[in-house]
Amino acid sequence: MSSDKSAEKYLNLKTKAKEKMESLNEKTVVMVGAATCGKAAGVIDTREALKDEIEKKGIDAQVVEVGCMGFCYAEPIVVISKPGFPSLCYGSVDEGLAVRLVEDYLVNDDPCFEYALVALEPNDYFPVFTDFPRGVYEKKIILEQCGFIDPEDIDHYLAEDGYEALAKTFEIQPEEVIESIKESKLRGRGGAGFPAGIKWDVCSKAQDDSKYVICNADEGDPGAFMDRSILESNPHQVIEGLIISAYAVGASKGYIYVRSEYPQAVRRVETALEQAREKGLLGDSILETDFSFDIEIFEGSGAFVCGEETALINSMEGIMGVPEHRPPFPASYGFRGKPTLINNVKTLSYVPHIIRKGVEWFKSIGTSDSPGTAVFALVGKVEYTGLVEVPMGTSLRNLIYDVGGGVPDEKDFKAVQIGGPSGGCLPESALDIPIDFDSLHEAGAIMGSGGLVVLNEDDCMVEIARYFLDFTQKESCGKCTFCRLGTKHMLDMLGEITRGEGELNHLDTLRELGEDIKKGSLCGLGKTAPNPVLTTLRYFKDEYEAHIKEKRCPALMCMHLLGFYIIPERCSKFCSACVGSCPTEAIYTRDDQLKAIDQEKCVKCNSCLFACPPEFYAVEKLSPAELVEEREREQG
């Protein structure tokens, strides 16, 4: 390796990028969060309103599309950096507010603090991000630049020391790179938490002239969007990590396996790859060294099981995406029969930071056995939904209440479902468990790839377990008898329980069958599929018993065990909102002009509940026993 030439080549690229960014920062820059979450919230209209108004006013300002900052609850997000003022982040910016910001701030120097979420740099006027409730507890590493750089302009990444780790990598031997990853104790962020350095070491020692590296971006968990957001917001971070891994293990070809349901992520990665080739950071003789390496995108068809390494490889080879027995492991015998290193998006994203800032820096964050940070898609019944990154060892309570703002609408917290559809449901008593691979495993859950769903008092834990098991059962490839038939039997029993047809012996059968499925399944999908059922049986057994013994759903969520009833004392003779909302004409007018529901016609669609004006709140969900009591009370 000609490290001197590579260092000089990189320094030239970085210098030009910094000069470009400095000239850009001399004028006003308006950044709009245009990741998928922002576009779903209407940021395209916001962006056009900003552009039109800036042009109309003749302002020297540039509108730049960036990725996701993590404040998904406040989309559309706009960040304005104006010379002489602190950079300010504004939330829920619709077309009207966009026009006002241009007029008041860009023209008249009024920052409109009342609409700002947070400042991005120290100032005398407004709280900075580190003083923001979630900013105090977050520690951003791989999300640090997400939402602050243009993902479709490589110079933005280069100006922030991007690809510096790659240049440093070429100054040392491949085995030294692997040793750094091993010493860092970096564990795979795809779910299992396997030490990344060991996997790299095995692949590097495999005797073969042809090797592959693959980035596994097949993110399929319901409610998870971490990998998608990283690819949409900072794709070069992943690409740099993949190149470094290829150099370390001796691979000349790489792939990014991403599901085709992520069109924007695919497009932005394609753009990033093209720009990296143009800069000499990818392709032949990278940074004028003798190391050549290139990357292609492989679009998966969306099968959840293809997130498993061997199933992913089968999918890439054009055969059915089902898992294979291991060993041999892909690191020794993988894609096309060659040694293949497979790492998750987040795992690869840490690599440039570890190489650039050092092993000890990385180990100083998090816990001794799980260093670094944890990235979560925080969703469900929580105030501030979005992407968060906290140090390993942070408690679930801290994450949900301090970072996420707690449970809204004065509802009581019930559980947190962590680890995706194969994760576990943990109760309030488990909220002080530190977030790390081993502690969560002891509690019956898994870290997973980073999905975290907060549940409140209105969620039925039996139905939640049934919902997630229904997902994994449908996504099972069918290869293993335990997974194929065992999950089906469990799902059938859960269905009977939610319909009030369950028996007490179902609980022992569910527990026994769940343990057998975990032991007898081939891949991670089957081995973890029973987790939602086993953890809800462990922590919420009383809810199962209520469904079976009392034919009652305590959360009033299971439709077969409840009915909708109009409380006469609250109903108004002059309101017919519920009548028009009912699709089956089950609501009729009584002789006293109040409304009532024909239970035989009611299909329990919830329409009347939402249609009833809040000042009356006359429609309620009641269990059958409570319905009988109401009818008896009504009849005197």
Closest CA to 427 of 596, 559, 540: 540
Name the least confident of 279-288, 367-376, 437-446.
Answer: 437-446
Q: Residue 631's pLDDT band (boundaries 50, 70, 90)?
A: low
Strand pairing class (595-597; 587-589): antiparallel
Are 396 and 435 in contact by the 8 Å Cβ rule? The answer is yes
Which pLDDT does position 2 carry in this prediction? 56
Name the least confident of 119-133, 259-273, 565-579, 605-619.
Answer: 119-133
> What does the alpha-carbon distance between residue 372 and residue 362 come to, in Å, rounded to a whole number?
6
Q: Residue 24's pLDDT band (boundaries 50, 70, 90)?
A: confident
Q: Residue 633's pLDDT band (boundaries 50, 70, 90)?
A: low
CATH topology of domain 462-549: de novo design (two linked rop proteins) (1.20.1440)
Are 394 and 436 in contact by the 8 Å Cβ rule? The answer is no
Q: What is the pLDDT of residues 490-532, one digit of tens each?
A: 999 999 999 999 999 999 999 999 999 999 998 888 999 999 9
Residue 116, classed as helix, strand or coil, is strand
**Mean pLDDT across the stretch 528-555?**
95
Cα dist from 621 to 15, 458, 597, 633, whole Å: 65, 11, 12, 17
Phi, psi of 100 (to 5 degrees): -65, -40
Are 125 and 311 in contact by the 8 Å Cβ rule? The answer is no
Q: What is the mean pLDDT of the chain?
A: 93
CATH topology of domain 20-132: Glutaredoxin (3.40.30)
* H or E element, residue 294: strand 294-300
Sheet holding 373-380, edge to edge: 386-391, 373-380, 451-456, 413-418, 424-427
Residue 3 has pLDDT above 80, yes or no: no
Q: CATH 3.10.20.600: does it fit domain 373-459?
A: yes
Which pLDDT does position 126 carry in this prediction? 78
**Can you list the pairs that 511-514 forms with residues at least 24 positions away whose Cβ atoms lie under 8 Å?**
511/537, 513/486, 513/489, 514/490
Whole-structure pTM value = 0.93
Residue 622: other Cβ atoms inside 10 A: 16
Strand pairing class (116-119; 88-90): antiparallel
> What does the alpha-carbon distance between residue 344 and residue 188 come to, in Å, rounded to a whole number?
7
Q: Where are the domains of the chain?
A: 20-132, 162-362, 373-459, 462-549, 562-634
Which pLDDT does position 636 carry in this prediction? 58
CATH topology of domain 162-362: Rossmann fold (3.40.50)
Name the least confident of 129-138, 141-150, 246-255.
Answer: 129-138
Which pLDDT does position 289 carry in this prediction? 94
Which pLDDT does position 622 carry in this prediction? 86
> What does the alpha-carbon distance between residue 276 and residue 133 come to, in Å, rounded to a whole number?
37
Give Cα 273 to chain centroid, integer Å.
24
Q: Residue 13's pLDDT band (boundaries 50, 70, 90)?
A: very high
Q: What is the pLDDT of residues 47-63, one digit of tens each?
A: 999 999 999 999 999 99
For domain 562-634, give its CATH number from 3.40.50.2300, 3.30.70.20, 3.30.70.100, 3.40.20.10.
3.30.70.20
Give Cα 95 to chain centroid, integer Å.
28
